[in-house]
Chains A and B, each alone.
Chain A
Amino acid sequence: MNIIEKILANASGRKHVSPDDIVEAKIDMAMTHDLTGPLAIKSFREIGAKKVWNKDKIVIILDHLVPASSVISAGLHKIVRNFAEEQNIENFYDVGRGGVCHQVMPEKGHVRPGEVIVGSDSHTCTYGAFGAFATGIGSTEMAAVFTTGKLWFRVPEVIKVDVEGKFQKWVTSKDMTLKIIGKICADGAIYKGLEFGGSIIRDMTVEGRMVLSNMAVEMGAKAGLIEPDQKTLDYVNARTDKPFNPIVSDKDAEYEKVLDVDVSDLEPQVAVPHQVDKIKPVTEIEGTEINQAFIGSCTNGRLEDLQSAAKILKGKKIKRNVRLIVIPASQEIYLNALSEGLIQAFMESGATIGNPNCGPCLGGHMGILADGETCISTSNRNFIGRMGSTKSFVYLASPATVAASALTGKITDPRETMGKVH
């Protein structure tokens, strides 16, 4: 069996499962946030439930509109906060205590290899980077999980993606991820699982792997897993003392197909409006004018992302008519960025710094786009209206490409900015 089959078999008490089997799996962790949580709580009450199945397996994180952006969102926070209090949920990360949910979950030790994790957020698949089966569900299904601790899954066919080669300077895990999305397409993995492997994945940091798993859902996938290795174990063991059981694919594991990708000649990549799978090398769209640049989100708001952007921005000024918004994904990342001098470098370049939260990624607040405006962003979606006006345009790229573009006011190849260093 492959890693996904093995995890689902374990979680449903079976010896063996195959694609298309329907299993009822025990849930190890369930996460919800301020935008989908209130509806989950409403459904929980409507079902007639009084007490959650296991308060220690539920994590609630305020991150989408934080601090409250309006009276209505303040009301949503209040609903969630009261629920956490009423159910005695200790893993509740209020304003200023956590940050973006998909960063806080692993950072606070709530993600462990081999586990089944659900979240009422589509990018829950991020935890696949730690060898967990993690997937997004709706609010009412979350209410069912709160009540029973179980959920049914169809065992998916799995596509194996093997990535080999070495990155050129200023080419990152985000560029590789966009390239893979361009190959598989937005509907290429609907109802399926993805398993990522190959030498470059093993060479990559845990943070870099999270970028790839984070965007599995942009290919329609249910989950995107990477086998846990020593790097995974080191990260997880430093953050939790709870026991876990790392699982890897069997040698004779079966896959629907295997996709080979080589990144040796890969250029920085950009997803152009309005589809995540419309991928172009940066050299093809260089010069496209931008009004705003955003570095942050559950895809690319981590320390190595900020380090990469700061290398490009340090000692330089961003273009006069461009707004650069930088949002570290968590309190911990923000503190580390402060002590490394990254925040100072950003501010001196003319950037504005936001508190850890989802920020402008989903058009809720903190950098909404007007009609006709263009933003280059390190986030994960460039759908129509995603970051504001339905007449605005969003390009997705790596932190390096976004930083280089903020300097010139046009989409720019970071290799050009940094003198094509190899």
Chain B
Amino acid sequence: MEISGKAIKFGANIDTDVILPGPYLVHTDPYELAKHAMAGLDLEFPQKAAEGVIVVGDKNFGCGSSREQAPIALKYSGVKCVLAESFARIFYRNAITIGLPVLVCTGVSGKVKEGDMLTVNLQTGKVENKTNGAVMQSTKLPEFIMEILDDGGLIEHLKRRIETHE
């Protein structure tokens, strides 16, 4: 599965309170959540992300609360994938669960500028910066995580597994 899109860059320790501030947690509709994605840092983010983008973070992306609404807001605003030096654990699991690819990519924060065109191969973990020619290798996702992503998230994956068993 190959993903391409413009990069939107953020710094270190991007927490789930800025990805989706607490007051919006009352919404359950993913598209309503998406309207407030990154509202703690950039109110224009949903418009920027709408064309389909790749978010590039530094270390500890997604730290803080366990709110699954944070990766949901990113995914439904148009984020196709998040690359970062490291991820906070609960955010990482939640992103996979809801079908948003997240890849640990050492060096990415230094080799990508805002607006660069990126291509990510989820199977091989290869990341290419088409704007400056840099090639990076992200940590490959294990097979069982790729299966969840291929199915579009844990719920679809569980349903499919139940169907296969029946």
Contact = CB atoms under 8 A, between A and B. Distances in A.
Contacts of A390: 18, 21, 39-41
Interface in A350-399: 362-364, 381, 383-386, 390
Interface residues of A, number: 45
Contact of B23 (A39, A217, A275, A364): A364
A387 to B, nearest CB: 9
A85 interface: no
Contact of A384 (B12, B18, B66, B162): B18
B113 interface: no
A220 interface: yes
B25 interface: yes
24 contacts: A35-B26, A36-B68, A39-B28, A47-B155, A48-B162, A64-B25, A122-B66, A137-B66, A137-B90, A138-B66, A138-B67, A140-B97, A143-B155, A186-B60, A186-B63, A187-B63, A187-B88, A190-B87, A190-B88, A362-B17, A364-B23, A385-B18, A385-B21, A385-B39
Given A220-B63, A363-B21, A384-B41, A39 B69 contact: yes
Nearest to B71: A138
Interface string A43-56: 10011100000000
B119 interface: no
A318 to B, nearest CB: 26
Given A363-B23, A383-B15, A190 B89 contact: yes
B65 A138 contact: no
A121 interface: yes
A144 interface: yes
Nearest to B70: A138
A79 to B, nearest CB: 8
B48 interface: no
Q: Is the interface of A mostly helix, strand, loop or mixed?
A: loop
B86 interface: yes
Given A121-B66, A390-B40, A138 B13 contact: no
Interface of A: 35-36, 38-39, 42-43, 46-48, 64-65, 70, 72-73, 76, 119-122, 124, 136-141, 143-144, 186-187, 190-191, 217, 220, 222, 275, 362-364, 381, 383-386, 390
A325 to B, nearest CB: 16
B94 interface: yes
Given A144-B158, A390-B41, 5 more contacts: A138-B68, A140-B154, A187-B13, A190-B60, A362-B65
Contacts of B12: 187
